[in-house]
Amino acid sequence: MDNNFFLDTERIRILDKIRIIYLLLFLCFFGLTELGRHVYRPFIYANHINDYGIADSIGNLGGIIVQLFFGFLVLNPNKLKGLRLIAFFILGYILYEVAQPILPRGVFDWKDIFGTIIGGAIGLVLFLLIHKIVKQNKTIYRF
């Protein structure tokens, strides 16, 4: 077993059912996030609809889910390392948002932090559900 904090060199070389699920969820949430940014957000703004800040934070809310499942797809972590990865992404997004005022053209927005937390929670629930539902994770191919 590899003692690396995020990476298990043996698991990264395996294609299994869970990794395929990660790919499908990555693609699904990437598409939904882009629809949200390019269709939903302009519609909400054009029609002056109060959606409680969802349109404002759709990039963070969906973006963190996309990055989580991309990270899972690339690293294929076990449950513990996946939980570490989730915490790393959530904290990274929040630190980036807090640093916005000192970055060029950066704007701090509480809605983005809330979007990050909600998106991270959705990613966490999906990750835990996948690991609970997929009992027999058979290796399809070993690189």
Tell me the pLDDT tens digit for each residue of 13-53: 999 999 999 999 999 999 999 999 999 999 999 999 999 99
HSE value, Cβ hemisphere, 13 Å, CA-based, for 81: 19
The SS3 call for residue 30 is helix
What domain count does the chain have? 1
Instruction: Give domain status of residue 25, yes or no.
Output: yes
**99: part of which helix (H) or strand (E)?**
helix 79-99
pLDDT tens, position by position, 72-120: 999 999 999 999 999 999 999 999 999 999 988 888 999 999 999 999 9
Give the pLDDT of residue 61. 96
The two tokens of residue 100 are 């916005």
Give the pLDDT of residue 2. 54
Model confidence, pTM: 0.91
Phi, psi of 14 (to 5 degrees): -115, 135
Domain residues for the domain of 119 are 11-135
Instruction: Give domain status of residue 75, yes or no.
Output: yes
Q: Look at residues 21, 4, 11, 6 and name the one whose alpha carbon lies nearest to residue 131.
A: 21
HSE value, Cβ hemisphere, 13 Å, CA-based, for 115: 23
